[in-house]
Structure 1
Amino acid sequence: MNTAPRLEHHDAHTRLIVDGKPFLCLGGELHNSSSSDRQYMAEVWEKISGSGANSVIATVAWDQVEPEEGTFDFSVVDGILEDARAAGLRLILIWFGAFKNASSTYAPTWVRADRTRFPRADRGPEPMETPFSYKGSMPRPTLSVFSDELFVADRTAYCRFMAHLAEVDRQHTVIMVQVENEVGLLGVGRDRSAAAQAVWESPVPVPLRKALANNADAFDPTVSTVLQPVIASEASWAHHFGDGSPVADEAFMAWAFATYVGGLAAAGKEILELPVFANAWVGPQPGQDLPGNYPSGGPTARMIPVWQTAAPAIDFLAPDIYVPNSAEIMSQYASVGNPLFIPEARFRAGDAFLSVGRFGALGYQVFGLEDGRPGNQYGLACRAILALTDQIVEGQRDERIFGFALEQDEDLVTTTLGGISITVRNSAKLYRSMLLDAGVVLPPPPELPGETEGAAHGHTPGDGRPFGLILETGPLEFLVVGQGALFDFHKADSELELDSVRELRLTQDGWRDGRLLNGDERLQILKNDTISASRIKLLELSKSA
């Protein structure tokens, strides 16, 4: 029998183990409603089975599996499992319980209809404008995270779901579970309902006070400064902060949501021990400056220590990345205590390389995987990376790997591997500059083919950035994968020159040796118009006197 998927820790490095081997999760999340209907999914499975992905994130909705209290139907889960196995794909399942994107539309009717038993969050008399809303729109239900009855009902359903998985998924098609989705409260920084107000007027939790006292450096400086007064006082949140402290409001809501989501995670793990995570709507971000503009209390970067303290059963916190400053977000979430995993992102092949190569990511998943155009760049990126899974994971552990994605205003980036300084350059820009010096003007490169087809959000172009990763494979030996990059190697007190460059060819059996590159072709060690790979050997010479 296959062993259960697990996270394995090696000092500062964390890896996902599936079937006893390292596993990088590359693929995507289905649209929210796709997995609710098996017939709809039939063509989707056929399409994505050949996409280059090895894993899919699918949803399980509380309202679908428990339409009446105490009556459960997990046939939709059985269909997802059976069809994913037939497609040769691993699953990450999301529990769409009481909270999805800071609202409660996936809570069953019997929950939403009973406002007395399951009270709503109260945004006060003047709520903020929120994303994805418009004047005159119908209200979206938002249950209060402070409702004990809600927690018990959600936990009961989640545990029944995990028990069903334990019974029917003995081969471990499901490798991880995400609990809820982008939790938090929109429209106000802090819930003003009666239940929330009672907690606001209660003492700040002792574990949070101890974490601030004993590990203040782990907290964002702004957060630790604002919360500093609670360390030596048993007074209430209200006593310390009153009204008008966005940071305190967010921390208060973060403790509530982390306790709720972490409580579900802990109960589920008692039934089935699988890696469990919570995802984040990142904030602050442009146009969403205050908690409430983005979901207040979600696992945003500056709330990570609050979540980790309140919810130790959650293995890691994961950012959904739709903002352009992806490297910055990755760096905020990648740490010794929180391995990086990206459960939602744009079709941006370079970010997949960047995440696993520079930030040690467990995986990268685009949103709306079924929208992907057959033969797209992201699918090729998945195949290129997965063919090197063992080398990449070992390189992450030993710090022998570097990922890059040069933005438009970046001509180069540098790193050091094995004592050798490596400069990664934009080869197309450099080549055009050299030809311009010779009086030759090249036209601008054409836009790459689109990544998606029929997507509701419109056209998604391919990633034209120079991107990829570098692996140190031995003394003076490197493997490079990606597109549009040129490499220079330097070592103190020595002279280095290229000894050989072997092009690699991607086959069904992985990367295989191809041409020996020399002459003009060494100006394009990685091709500009598609993902490629090469093995580089250097010759080290003593410096001339």
Structure 2
Amino acid sequence: MSLPQLLKEDGVYNLYVDGKPYIALAGEIHNSSASSLEYMKEKVWPYLRELHLNTVIVPVYWELIEPEQGKFQFDLLDGIIEQAREENVRLVLLWFGLWKNGISSYAPGWVKKEFTTYFRAVYKNNEPSETISPLCDKAVEADANAFTQFMAHLKKVDGDRNTVIMVQVENEIGLLGSDRDYSDYANVEFNRPIPAVIESLYGVSGTWEEGFRDNAAEYFMAYHYAQAVEQIASAGSKVYPLPLFVNAWLEQFPWRPGTYPSGGPIAKVMKIWKAAAPSICLYAPDIYLPNFAEICEEYTANDNPLFIPEARRDIPTATNVFYAIGKHDALCFSPFGIEDFMAPPDSGESIDAGIMMALNIENSGFVLNGTGPYLARSYELLGNMLGIIRKYRGTGKMTGFLQNHEAGCILSFSKYDIRITYHRQPAGKPVSGGLVIEVSEDEFIFAGISFYIEFLPKRSSSMKTSYVRIEEGKFVQDEWVPGRVLNGDEGAYHIKIGTNPAALRVELYQYK
């Protein structure tokens, strides 16, 4: 059986699993859920089954895999893989190693206690942080060794099954609370000449400060984090070359490195990361900010495929998935804390508002407000048409749209323009958005939530446009199953997809 791999073909990236293109309709579980197989069995898997996921994103923990130096335990990992097989889903694993959300909380106790060997990054006031410095060679070597053991074991237990299709190296990497590491070692490195690879990339020279001025601290950290990740990732990839990626805690207000993790793979330093960490195949945004469409644009620039391992938990996420897949050929869409979405209200793990404030994270993206049932319908609809979507990815015949401050948008296809008017819903309902596929010049498929459709002839055309047939329906294993045929009051004046995720097939003709 061939390994999962990421390939660029005819201008679009495809993730191959078992030799076929794969799109992950996913959910990421809470950070601690996978630390207990019993907890997974009782509190996680029962609440995922109604969501129509094909993929679950699950952490694995260095502290539990190597609790004593050189002694590795994989029973927990084996159990998670076995449970995923029983549930008939694929896994993306998150390596919680040296760095998670800007600090080193998942490093084993023997690493934390040896704080002179595995030295910390230091703040400007000479106070040590809880983040092990990316310039600490011994810490990076220890992580790389553990990651290699983990990948070797993964190959042994799953190399013939591909239950695990990708691995994320570390999590939301970077330094919180400071723009850079001010340890003595880091200060010496900061005042050295910029490495040749970065000089040539940006056409600058001198020290980091001379070359990059106000951005020097963040670019310096990006280079050293990327170098560290490359050492870890390349070591693991040599024994089991699954696709490896990193994720980003996004740059945000007040736009100062340290208020978000400085040196992480945000869009503006992706060029540095690509140069210093060639073993990483893609850079993934964790999207909790409200400007979803803008972030998708940012993370599909610079030849980067869109893969969203963490997305907002509030109700717009049920619409955002259509836009990400339709407009940007997303390979993965995955809201965070997915086990809460269909759980009874009193059983889900709440998100602490105080933590959100302390970390400068917008609370609204973490609030569940009826998201689960809508997301389940979105995933069910999309899951049954993934073959159709894969057929049209990268062809220019498929696009997506998402409600913004405008009343709607105009989409241009070969023979017609389509006017989409957003149906703005009251609070507590999904926003308007969806995707459209041009099956032929005169036939279109729409899927999404809450919008009106009007077909217009091209401006240069003297022809008039009307409908042969408008069908409600759904896909079942990529085959269109028609429902009502709309005409009269339901079709003559406007075509609409309502509040619930739904699909329409429209056939047109022109006359004069």
In structure 2, the residue matched to 1:108 is 108
Mapped partners of 1:67, 1:526: distance in 2: 57
After superposition, residues 212-231 of structure 1 pair within 5 angstroms as: 212-213=202-203, 229-230=204-205
The residue aligned with 1:281 is 249
CA separation of 1:327/1:120 partners in 2, compared to 1, >3 Å: closer, same or farther?
same
Looking at secondary structure, tell me which structure has more strand per residue: 2
Count of residue pairs the alignment pairs up = 475
Match of residue 141 from structure 2: 152
- For residue 335 of structure 1, give the secondary structure of its aligned residue in structure 2: coil
Deviation at 1:524, TM superposition (A): 6.5
Residue 487 of structure 2 corresponds to residue 521 of structure 1: no
* Corresponding residue of 2:503: 533
Q: Is 2:97–2:106's contact at 8 Å kept on the other side of the alignment?
A: yes
Are the structure 2 counterparts of residues 46 and 384 from structure 1 closer, same or farther at C-alpha, using a change threshold of 3 Å?
same
Distance 2:285 2:268 in 1: 12
Spell out, residue by residue over 1:344-393, the C-alpha distance to the aligned partner (whole angstroms, 9 max, x if none). Answer: 01131111111111111111000001001266111111111121112212
Q: Residues 13 and 336 of structure 1 are in contact (CA less than 8 Å); yes or no, is this contact kept in structure 2?
A: no
Which consecutive aligned stretches of 4+ in structure 1 deviate over 4 angstroms post-superposition? 238-241, 506-511
Work out the CA distance in 2 between the residues paired with 1:373 and 1:46: 9
Residues 248 and 283, structure 2, Cα contact 8 Å, conserved in 1: yes
Cα distance in 1, alignment partners of residues 312 and 111 from structure 2: 34
1:404 aligns with 2:401: yes
Deviation for aligned residue 1:45: 1.4
Match of residue 316 from structure 1: 282
SS at match of 1:58: strand
**Is the aligned partner of 1:205 residue 2:204?**
no
Q: 1:425 aligns with which of 421, 424, 431?
A: 421
User: Which position in structure 2 is the counterpart of 1:453?
Assistant: none
What secondary structure sits across from 2:185 in the alignment?
helix
User: Shift in Å at residue 417 of structure 1?
Assistant: 2.2
SS at match of 2:436: strand
CA RMSD across the alignment: 1.9
Instruction: Measure, in 2, the Cα distance between the counterparts of 1:4 and 1:19.
Output: 7
Give the equivalent residue in structure 2 for 1:413.
Answer: 409
Q: Any conservation in 2 of the 1:526–1:532 contact (CA below 8 Å)?
A: no
Q: Deviations over 1:456-498 (max 9, x none)?
A: xxxxx452x1111100111211000112111122223132222
TM-score (normalised: structure 1): 0.84
Q: Distance in 2 between matches of 1:191 and 1:140?
A: 9
- What displacement does 1:335 show? 3.2
Indicate the residue corresponding to 2:330 in structure 1: 361
Which residue of structure 1 aligns with residue 301 of structure 2?
335
Query: 8 Å contact 1:246–1:291 — kept in the other structure?
Result: no
Answering whether residue 241 of structure 2 is matched by residue 270 of structure 1, we say no
Between the two proteins, what is the percent identity of the paired residues?
Answer: 38
Distance 1:150 1:417 in 2: 54
Partner amino acid, structure 2, of 1:363: C
TM-score, length of structure 2 as denominator length: 0.89
Matches within 5 A, 1:238-257: 238=209, 240=211, 245-257=213-225
Distance 2:167 2:480 in 1: 32
Cα distance change, pair 195–11 in 1 and its aligned pair in 2 (3 A): farther
Which shifted more, 86-95 or 353-362?
353-362
Residues 388 and 478, structure 2, Cα contact 8 Å, conserved in 1:
no
Tell me how far apart the structure 2 counterparts of residues 495 and 116 of structure 1 sit (CA, whole Å): 77
Which of 469, 483, 486 aligns to 2:452? It is 486
C-alpha distance in 2, partners of 1:152/1:540?
67
Conservation of the 8 A alpha-carbon contact between 1:377 and 1:462: no
Give the corresponding residue for 1:119. 119
Residue 27 of structure 2: aligned partner: 28
Using the TM superposition, give the Cα deviation of residue 126 of structure 1 relative to its aligned residue in structure 2, in angstroms: 8.3
Q: Tell me, what secondary structure is at the counterpart of 1:343?
A: strand
Distance 2:214 2:467 in 1: 56
> Given that residues 209 and 216 in structure 2 are in contact (C-alpha distance below 8 angstroms), is that contact kept between their aligned partners in structure 1?
no
Residue segments in structure 1 that go unaligned for 5+ positions in a row:
128-138, 214-228, 430-444, 448-460
Change (3 A) 1:507 1:11: closer
Q: Distance in 2 between matches of 1:369 and 1:536?
A: 34
Distance 1:238 1:487 in 2: 54
Which 5+ residue runs of structure 2 have no aligned equivalent? 344-371
- 1:183 aligned partner: 173
1:373 match:
342
